[in-house]
Amino acid sequence: MSTPKQLKVANKDAVRGLGIKLLIGLPISGLFWTIIFYFFVSNESWNFKILLFFSIFGIFLGGGSIINFAFGSSVYQLWHKLISLIDSIIVWLFLPFFYYLVFFPYSLALRLTGKSKFNQKKIKTSSYWREIDNSKNNKRYLQQF
Amino acid sequence: MILGISAYYHDSAAALVAEGSIIAAAQEERFTRIKHDYNFPVHAINYCLREANISLNDLDQIVFYEKPLLKFDRLLETYIGFAPKGLKSFVHAMPQWLKQKLHLPREIKKNLPDRWNKPIVFTSHHESHAASAFFPSPFEEAAILTMDGVGEWDTATVGVGERNRIQLLKSMHFPDSLGLLYSAFTYFCGFRVNSGEYKLMGLAPYGNPVFKDLILDTLIDLKEDGSFSLNLDYFNYCQGLTMTNDKFANLFGGPPRKSESVITDREINLASSIQAVTEEIVLRMARFTRDLSQKENLCISGGVALNCVANGKLLNEKIFKNIWIQPASGDAGGALGCALFTHYQLMENNRIPSPHDSMEGSFLGPKFENNEIRSFLDKNQIPNHFYSSEKELLKIICQFISKGKIIGWFQGRMEFGPRALGGRSIIGDARNSEMQTKMNLSIKFRESFRPFAPSILEEETSHFFDLDSPSPYMLLVAPIKNEIRRELTNEEKKAMKDSNLLARVKIDRSSIPAVTHVDYSARVQSVTEERNGRYYRLIREFRNSFKSPILVNTSFNVRGEPIVCTPQDAYRCFVSTDMDVLVLENFVLLKTEQPDESFKEKEKYISSFDLD
Amino acid sequence: MIKEKKDFQKLTEKSEQSGLILELFSMLKHNKKWWLTPIVLVLLLFGLLIILGGSTYAPFIYTLF
């Protein structure tokens, strides 16, 4: 039932857009790390090498992508591979974590208090048909429930 | 003007309704060539707008066929009921919900071909099904019964339709579902859920319902009024990625059949048993519907309504005077239903039922003119013969059919719904005893046990079938008349126990063997000139010249492929199979005249489709 | 007839689609399923994380921690 990952097709605009984001984004990340380092690792001197490193990286990848499309599309592909990697880590690591540690205890509690309809004792009944609530006004049709 | 959309589960589709008539409706799979495509139906929407020659801004409303948040609520509650089981399904489903399905208004607006500033209208899943069953029907008033796998919570509903309104009165809730029960057996017998149900139905007449009582005693608690509760100990669809579990397998003597492996007596008898149970449930539900509604007409829709064997039994029981079944009863039809619901019930427009029905024979898709076809043929230097006179064209085609040739028949608008009804069909002579095997194995590349349907002139129906009502959409199975049946010899009777189904299929049972199933039944399509136009005239010509008012009619595709949409699709399918002749409107193409290089892609084409 | 026809048309012309959060909570309220609230909230947060995790900005954000 899950959607297969759609292959991102690199077009000129998308590649250029990513180039600009890298050109601006990587130096900002560099600055951020520089600050982190200053306060948490060595609070004596600013280590601007980190900023420089990130910036060169950003200029190289971002600038390169803007100038050369072929280079840009490989950066684009790589970037999206990274994204799908992060995506799968979140999905396959965090979701199971969440399911067992948060969702399961909560549902257990609900089940014990009799809120879950799937675990209620079968009541002897002569019909499984349910009444449909027809007190709808037309506004209901703009709602998603 | 109202645009209806169904999407994101299976069989995406779009439909356009204007002034109460259905202008266009099509499934996305036909354009993208991906069977059961569930992506947002961009192509289908563009087609609908093109057909009406309008832009998005001319629309009054855009409607989606179900309530996404209610479905989300059902999913959450199901996981709550089963955690910590269900992790796999949770991890598969959640990302898509959180990213996309919870944001449908945004998602829809993003994918529309133009800006849309008004809110999107949402009807419920079974309201859409019910609307698609009642509003196009020929009835002023009628009872409505919808049955499918599951929508939001509902799995079956009973209601009434009067003039321009429908009202749903009773429903059954997930996980108790007739559609899912049938799909569970489809899965267990080694076929694909959501597409293999037909195969199970086709397999049923080969066997005996020996498991019927076991199913009724163990798996379900069936009430007199057709409502039932499933014993979830035996099913896995709430918490897992399969339909049934080990306990189910133990009950029926071993694990599920592996897909594409040999079909044994167990599967055949299981098919027969679940079919019998389904018929029992449908009949009980129908009686309940009649008692509740006090109407003499019935409209049905939802995936289960495509079970034409059950429909035939329902008709035969005469619980209702008249029955009308929506031809696009699957989720694709929801697009049409929600648009009609908005037009009639929400916008309160008048409804005047048309004496036959308002489905236009279900020919609601694209049509290709002769000049478009000519430019395609010329551009690709495809040898062809053009017949400007329809009379001559039909004469020559009938001659081919009488010689046992298999014809690709492409004309008029494409059908909406899963059946080909003479717009995108493969046809042949029903009297030819080789036809069923040949069509199954070298045209469609599918299982040999599957039956074919007859198209018959409506006025001739009663001479061949025990059927006293029209069946324009191939949704009723009827017994073949005794007069045309053939008694089996003792040797043939023995062969009917052969484990090889092909041996059983090959035995002639009537004067129309190609369309006679092993139990002397046929899935009839009755054809009229008003509804079917040229296709009717073709069969009439065949009757006048060759004394038979019946043709074999199967959909124009190979196994796993969506039905063809364009002349290109048709030509590609034609050169990749053993079809002899291709008719594209007034053009006739002969296989023997096609250049060698056109066959080069044959293998690649056939293997490009996933087996269904 | 014509007056009523305008009713739904008017309704859609003057209404806006409600946002997801509002819709979800109206649903819980309407169906009296308050006990689902905590889990819906947590899932929504997860949704945010997943949406960010799948966006172009994801690698930036993850260089930030």
C-alpha dihedral, B277 to B283 to B286 to B292, nearest 10°: -100
User: Between chain B and chain C, how many beta carbons pairs sit less than 8 Å apart?
Assistant: 55
Q: What is the model's pLDDT at position B522?
A: 96
Q: Which of B65, B80, B193 to mutate to test the interface with A (most CBs of A within 10 A)?
A: B80
Contact partners, residue B326, CB within 8 Å, separation at least 6 = B129, B132, B133, B136, B299, B300, B301, B305, B333, B337, B359
Mean pLDDT of B555-570: 95
Considering only alpha carbons, which residue of chain A is nearest residue C62?
A86
Cross-strand bridge partners of residue B479: B521
Scan for tokens 């998602």, then name that residue: B107
> Cβ separation of C43 and B347 shorter than 8 Å?
no
Task: Give CA–CA dist B518/B509, Å, rounded.
Answer: 8
> Are the CB atoms for B373 and B567 separated by under 8 Å?
yes
Q: What pLDDT was estimated at residue B155?
A: 98
Q: Give mean pLDDT, residues B333-355.
A: 96
Classify residue B363 by its DSSP letter: B
Residue of C nearest to B74 (CA): C36
For residue B602, name the pLDDT band (cuts at 50, 70, 90). confident
Query: Given an 8 Å threshold on Cβ–Cβ distance, is A79 in contact with C56?
Result: yes
Question: Where residue A3 falls among pLDDT bands split at 50, 70, 90?
Answer: very low
What is the distance in angstroms between the Cα of A144 and the nearest Cα belonging to chain C? Answer: 7
Looking at chain B, which subunits does it touch, using at least 3 CB pairs closer than 8 Å as the criterion? A, C
* Strand B165-173 with A130-131, pairing: antiparallel
Q: B2-175+281-360 domain in CATH 3.90.550.10?
A: no
The more confident residue out of B113 and A9 is B113
C-alpha dihedral (B38, B40, B44, B45), degrees to nearest 10: 150
Integer angstrom CA distances of residue A56 from A23, A30, A61 = 9, 10, 8
Measured CA angle at A110 (ends A104, A113), to 5 deg: 145
DSSP assignment, residue B514? G
Higher per-residue confidence, B303 vs B441: B303
The string of pLDDT tens digits covering residues B400-412 is: 999 999 999 999 9
The radius of gyration of chain C from alpha carbons, rounded to an integer in Å, stands at 19
Mean of pLDDT values over B378-407: 97
- The verdict on whether omega for the bond into residue B175 sits within 30 degrees of 0, i.e. cis, is yes
Q: Is A107's CB within 8 Å of B346's CB?
A: no
- From the list B61, B103, B350, the residue facing C20 with the nearest CB is B103
Angle subtended at Cα A44 by Cα A41 and Cα A47, rounded to the nearest 5 degrees:
65
Decide if pLDDT at B380 tops 90: yes
With beta carbons less than 8 A apart as the criterion, state whether B138 and B355 touch: yes
Question: Which of B91-105, B363-377, B405-419, B526-540 bottoms out in mean pLDDT, i.e. has the lowest?
Answer: B91-105
Contact C62 A142 (CB under 8 A): no
Token pair belonging to C4: 């009523």
Radius of gyration of chain A (CA): 27
Residue B466, helix vs strand vs coil: coil
* Distance of alpha carbon B580 from alpha carbon B589, whole angstroms: 9
Question: In C, residues 2-21, which contact B (CB 8 Å cutoff)?
Answer: 4-5, 7-9, 12-13, 15-17, 20
Interface residue of C1, C9, C12 to substitute, partner B, most B CBs within 10 Å: C12
Tell me the domain boundaries of chain A.
12-92
Q: State the pLDDT at residue A11.
A: 80
Task: State whether residue B442 is helix, strand or coil.
Answer: helix
| B398-607 CATH pick, 3.10.20.600, 3.90.870.20, 1.10.260.40, 3.90.1150.10 | 3.90.870.20
Confidence of residue A6 (pLDDT cuts 50, 70, 90): very low
Residue B527, beta-bridge partner list = B457
Chain A residue with Cα closest to C27: A145
Average pLDDT of chain B, as a whole number: 95
Report, as an integer, the average pLDDT of A18-42: 85
Are the CB atoms for B573 and B558 separated by under 8 Å?
yes
Provide the pLDDT for residue C1. Answer: 43
Domain edges within chain B: 2-175+281-360, 398-607
Calculated CA dihedral for residues B171, B242, B309, B507, nearest 10 degrees? 180
With CB atoms and an 8 Å threshold, state whether A144 touches B223: no
Asked if the C-beta of B79 comes within 8 angstroms of chain A's C-beta atoms, the answer is yes
Is B60 a residue whose pLDDT tops 80? yes
State how far the Cα of B357 lies from the Cα of B44, in Å rounded to an integer: 23
Of A84, A86, A145, the CB nearest to C23: A145
pLDDT of residue B178: 98
B308-317 vs B265-293: helix axis angle to the nearest 10?
Answer: 50
pLDDT greater than 60 at residue A108: yes
Residue B307 CB-density burial (10 A; 0-12 exposed, 13-18 middle, 19+ buried): buried
The H or E element spanning position B173 is strand B165-173
CA B531 to chain centre: 19
Chain A residues whose beta carbon lies within 8 Å of the beta carbon of residue C46: 94-95, 98
| Residue of B424, B412, B397, B369 whose CA lies nearest to B546 | B397
Whether residue B57 contacts residue B80, with contact meaning beta carbons closer than 8 Å, is answered with: no
8 Å CB contact of B84 and A134: no
pLDDT confidence tier of residue A5, bands split at 50, 70 and 90: very low
Helix extents (H) in B465-533:
490-495, 501-505, 529-532
Using the predicted structure, report yes or no on whether residue B510 has a pLDDT greater than 80. yes
Contacts of residue B98, Cβ cutoff 8 Å, sequence gap at least 6: C43, C46, C47, C50, C51
Put simply, the chain B residues between 266 and 305 with a CB less than 8 A from any chain A CB are 288
Q: What was the ipTM of the complex prediction?
A: 0.90
Collapsing DSSP to helix, strand or coil, B360 comes out as helix
